[in-house]
Each structure stands twice: as structure tokens, then as C-alpha cells.
């Protein structure tokens, strides 16, 4: 998971990672739409382990929403 350092303390906080399916449900669109946005570089993701599993942070989702006026 992505780590961020809180301004109030030196301890890193862990930002929740959402699956493609969860973001698609939040956006009320298909998983394919989200995967196309990821492939186009519109949504930043990170990979879990060596597999194909990816996660999207809340901040990456917020940035995508801001760019698309949602």
C-alpha cells in the first residue's frame, strides 16, 4: 500500500487501496472503463506482489475525478 507521512507526525500513514471493481462501482461505470483510464495513464495504480493485482489509492481516484469534473 502507498505510504504517506502525516504533517502532524513523522509516522507514515497507510492509504487504502481500492480495486478496479470498487472504483467502477463508486463511479457507476464498468470495470472496462476504469481499466481503459488506467491504460491511458489517467489513473495511477500500484501493483500487489508479483501478480497482476492492482490497487488505486483514494488520492489517485480523487485526482481522476478532479480532472474529469466529477
Domain count for the chain, please give it. Answer: 1
- Write out the residue range of the structural domain in which residue 24 sits: 3-67
pLDDT the model gives residue 8: 63
Angle of helix 20-27 versus helix 31-39 axis, rounded to 10: 110
pTM: 0.76
The whole-number pLDDT of residue 36 equals 98
Helices and strands (H, E) in the chain, number of each type: 3, 5
CB contact at 8 A, 52 and 46: no
What is the CATH classification number for the domain harbouring 50? 1.10.1660
Per-residue pLDDT of the chain (70 residues; tens, 9 = 90+): 555 555 566 777 788 899 999 999 999 999 999 999 999 999 999 999 887 899 999 999 999 999 987 6
Backbone angles phi, psi at 6, to 5 degrees: -70, 145
Amino acid at each position: 500500500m502507498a505510504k504517506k507521512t502525516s504533517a502532524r507526525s513523522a509516522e507514515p500513514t497507510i492509504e487504502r487501496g481500492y480495486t478496479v471493481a470498487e472504483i467502477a462501482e463508486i463511479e457507476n461505470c464498468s470495470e472496462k472503463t476504469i481499466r481503459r483510464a488506467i491504460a491511458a495513464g489517467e489513473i495511477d495504480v500500484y501493483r500487489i506482489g508479483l501478480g497482476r493485482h492492482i490497487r488505486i489509492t483514494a488520492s489517485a481516484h480523487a485526482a481522476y475525478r478532479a480532472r474529469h469534473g466529477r
